[in-house]
Structure 1
Amino acid sequence: MSLTLADARVVTPEGIHDGWLAIEDGRITHVGHGRAPRAGHSLGGRYVVPGFVDIHNHGGAGGSFPTGDQDGARAAVELHRRHGTTTLVASLVTAAVADLEAAASSLADLCDDGLLAGLHFEGPYISRARCGAHDPALLREPSPREFERLVKAGRGHVRMLTIAPELPGALDTVRAARDQGVLAALGHSDATYEQTLDGIDAGASVATHLYNALPPLGHRSPGPVAALLQDERVTVELVNDGVHVHPAMLRLACSVAGPGRTALVTDAMSAAGMGDGDYELGALRVTVSGGAARLAEGGTIAGSTLTMDVAFRRSVTEVGLTLSEASVAASLTPARVLGLDGQIGSIAAGKTADLVVLTDELEVAGVMRRGAWLTEPR
């Protein structure tokens, strides 16, 4: 099927231009400037950006990836697609190993079908002191052999493991993850600056939701945030929902890491797209009030109700990124983390036609995935 998208403001890593796109068999074949050479679907001067790539997401629309329930997972994916996320990694939370294996095996079916882009184990190898909305009774010391069981359950679809580098066995597990093609992400950690660098040297390359569930920056004890921000080998996740991180600290992270090492993520849980009320994240009860998700006991932040379009928009309006910079952070950088930047993440000839059409107010007007409209702009 051939399609021309005309009268667009095309957002690329290099900037924005008035132009058009040609799409054939699900791929972008031409990215043009000015007037399209033939009649096509007019976007009416609206922005077109690459589909968003979310590498840290626990669910939405009432569905929770940690349960492994496939119907709930499908509902969550559909919700996030409507908000522009065309590539999504399903994140699990700390649980008994047998339960993690069962959930991974179930969700691997959806990876086989192309619904999910992979699986992320956030826990159980994290710090008790910084466990956040993870059940401390289920935390474990890292074990390369045990992690191999989880990878096997995921049938080749495990993409990332969040781990605290200071724990016994952590560095060996980071190396084991690297050797199996799994990204090691440092997070939910009470590590020192030096222990964090040890984790990076062992092969860790992602910071799980920077600032959150980590010791704060200190001028005498810089801790993991300074190490993760400064090291060029690390991509930092940021949850830009107005709850997790103050805009000033988001600006600081973006100024140090730049869009090329910044990945906007949602950390969304089942309440995304739903109203305030009571929910669950793993084995823990969560109360959502005013759109903020917190543990019913203790009030700790428990994921978010964020969607990527809101994270993108806030990165422009609250953080001060340009549209091109925001697009890199929401699409190209996370695609690179997954090793998929040759296929998705930016608007370029030869790449998959995963696209989001945005109004002047940066609201979603249309979503295309693999050359087919999921929501067609009018």
Structure 2
Amino acid sequence: MSDRFALTGARIFDGDRWHEGHALVVRDGRVEAIVPSGALASDIRAVETGGGMLAPGFVDIQVNGGGGVMLNDHPDVASIETICRAHVPFGTTALLPTLITDTPQITAAAIAAGEAATLQKVPGFLGLHLEGPHLSVARKGAHDPALIRPMTDADQALLMEARRKLPVLLTTIAPESVEPARVAALAKAGVVVSLGHSDTGYATAQAFAEAGASVVTHLFNAMSQIGNREPGLAGAAIDIGALSAGLIADGIHVHPATIRIALDAKQGPGRIVLVTDAMATIGTDMTSFTLNGRMIYRKDGSLRLADGTLAGADLDMISAIRFIHQVVGVELSEALRMASLYPAQAVGQAHRLGRFAHGTAADVVALSDGLDVKRVWIDGTSVFQAGV
């Protein structure tokens, strides 16, 4: 017997436009339709959501940890489950657990864990993001410089084979450590290639975009900046339409005015998408943790190494949406797209995520008018309810 119900009592944002006085009909974990509330068939079970709004679940393509766990420290299925579960109360229904630059052994273990999580259909698991190790030491950020290295034939083959077994595989690379031909081969194999942790110039970034790179990792952070004669990777991310770019909207990584400038100037079809770059702290009260044997401290809304270097973000997705909407001034519909539709598009998953249309995943977040998360569904299954 099929499971069919309707979410009622809230205005609905379908990823494109708003629907007032309508209900979201779900059948067997997929969206069936958005229909006028008065037109619901009598045999459909109604689930009253109590006002506010329903929106597509958030998609986060850069999540290093959560629930007290870092993927680097425990590259296994249990950690992936913990990370995915930790982000659900903040409206994230699909995410890429992210491995920060590490040893070949840890990288292989993370890939194996991702493959197992795929087979086990871990709720919220979208695939993996391997951030490094093929980066630039000059823009290493919190990555261990001793582990950064050029990409080899074996590394390329590992990524291409992993992509065959994962729904999504995104890897952040720097042109300083990877040749354009490798990017072309990876992109052809379905790997999403992102440019980041790089001091590269505009012309090189453009060449890599032409080779198949399609994303830029955490815009403005750990990259060459916009100058009067050299736009750098930051300028390339904004000016080159083929590139989407992740953005950490916490008021610490990027100034609100800089965000406004970037949003106004961004050339499409690529978009600026919200990412959390979250670490183990999300969903916990922990004040410190380790990464590659180095202590990271949580204080005043940021995560830093002892020398003050930013190390990921103490950020969840609904907080990023509030910031981009309430502080930066982005219209609410666009802020929601930046957290759902646009990241889904960036990793080739907009056919099933980031919007409500017939056959898309019934990944739903119920929000109050004040943008608090009230309830969350993944594939039509209720996975979080505030106060319960």
**TM-score if structure 2 supplies the norm length?**
0.91
Following superposition, the deviation at residue 208 of structure 1 comes to: 0.4
Task: Give, as a single letter, the amino acid of the residue that structure 1 aligns with 2:232.
Answer: G
From 256, 262, 284, the counterpart of 1:274: 284
What's the counterpart of residue 213 of structure 1? 222
Q: Which residue of 2 aligns with 1:289?
A: 299
What's the CA shift for 1:370?
A: 0.6
Change (3 A) 1:189 1:260: closer
Bigger CA drift: 245-254 or 105-114?
A: 105-114
Distance 1:275 1:77 in 2: 18
**Aligned equivalents of 1:2, 1:101: Cα separation in 2:** 41
Indicate yes or no: 2:352 matched with 1:343: yes
Q: For residues 206-241 of structure 1, what are the alpha-carbon distances to aligned partners after superposition, in whole Å with 9 as ceiling and x for unaligned?
A: 000010001221112211111111111111100111
Taking the aligned partners of 2:28 and 2:163, their CA distance within structure 1 comes to 30
Q: How far off is 1:17 after superposition? A: 2.5
Indicate yes or no: 2:376 matched with 1:373. Answer: no
Q: Identify the residue that residue 309 of structure 1 maps to in structure 2.
A: 318
Counterpart for residue 353 of structure 1: 362
- Give yes or no for the alignment of 1:173 onto 2:179: no
Match of 1:85 in 2: 92
Specify the alignment match of 1:123 in structure 2.
Answer: 132
**Aligned residues of 1:5 and 1:41 also touching (Cα < 8 A):** yes
Q: Is the 8 A contact 1:130 1:190 kept in 2?
A: yes
Describe the superposition over 1:335-359 as per-residue Cα deviations: whole angstroms up to 9, x where unpaired: 1222221112112222111000000
Query: Is the alpha carbon distance of 1:229 and 1:42 closer, same or farther for their aligned partners in structure 2, counting shifts above 3 Å?
Result: same
Aligned to 1:23: 26
Which is worse superposed, 156-165 or 87-96? Answer: 156-165
Q: What is the deviation of 1:151?
A: 4.3
- Counterparts of 1:350 and 1:377, CA distance in 2: 27
Aligned to 2:12: 10
Q: Distance in 1 between matches of 2:10 and 2:107?
A: 44
Inter-CA distance 42–245: structure 2 relative to 1 (3 Å threshold)? same
Helix, strand or coil: the match of 1:49? strand
Change (3 A) 1:36 1:251: farther
Are 1:259 and 1:325, in contact at CA under 8 Å, matched by a contact in 2?
A: no
Aligned to 2:117: 110
CA distance in structure 1 between the partners assigned to 2:170 and 2:7 by the alignment? 35
Do the aligned partners of residues 260 and 94 (structure 1) sit closer, same or farther apart at CA in structure 2, a change above 3 Å counting?
A: closer
What do the CA deviations read for 1:169-203 (whole angstroms, capped 9, x no partner)? 43232122112210110000000111111111111
Partner of 1:234: 243
Larger mean Cα displacement after TM superposition, 210-219 or 14-23: 14-23
Moved more, 34-43 or 158-167: 34-43
Given candidates 67, 89, 104, the residue that maps to 1:97 is: 104
Q: Deviations over 1:295-322 (max 9, x none)?
A: 12x2111001211111122121112222
Write out per-residue CA displacement over residues 216-270 of structure 1, whole angstroms, 9 at most, x where no aligned residue: 2111221111111111111110011121111111122222237961211111111
Structure 2 partner of 1:73: 80
Shift in Å, 1:42: 2.0
Once the two structures are TM-superposed, the CA of residue 276 in structure 1 deviates from its matched residue by 4.8
Question: 1:108-257, aligned counterparts within 5 Å?
Answer: 108-115=115-122, 116-152=125-161, 156-157=165-166, 159-167=169-177, 169-257=178-266
Please list the CA deviations of residues 118-147 of structure 1 after superposition, one character each: whole Å capped at 9, or x if unmatched. 111101110101010100011101224323
**Partner Cα distance (2:256, 2:39) in 1:** 39
Quick one: distance in 2 between partners of 1:186 and 1:244?
18
Q: Distance in 1 between matches of 2:154 and 2:321?
A: 39
Counterpart secondary structure, 1:40: strand
After alignment, is 8-17 or 53-62 more displaced?
8-17
8 Å contact 2:163–2:169 — kept in the other structure?
A: no
Mark the CA change 1:260 to 1:161 in structure 2 (over 3 Å): closer, same or farther: closer
Rounded Cα–Cα distance in structure 2 between residues aligned with 1:281 and 1:125: 18
In structure 2, list runs of 5 or more residues that go unmatched: none
SS at match of 1:66: coil
Q: Distance in 1 between matches of 2:357 and 2:327?
A: 28
Aligned residue type for 1:47: M
In structure 2, do the counterparts of structure 1 residues 144 and 321 end up closer, same or farther at CA, with 3 Å as the change threshold?
A: farther
- So what's the TM-score if we normalise by structure 1? 0.94
Q: How many residues align?
A: 376
What's the CA shift for 1:156?
A: 2.1
Equivalent residue letter for 1:277? T
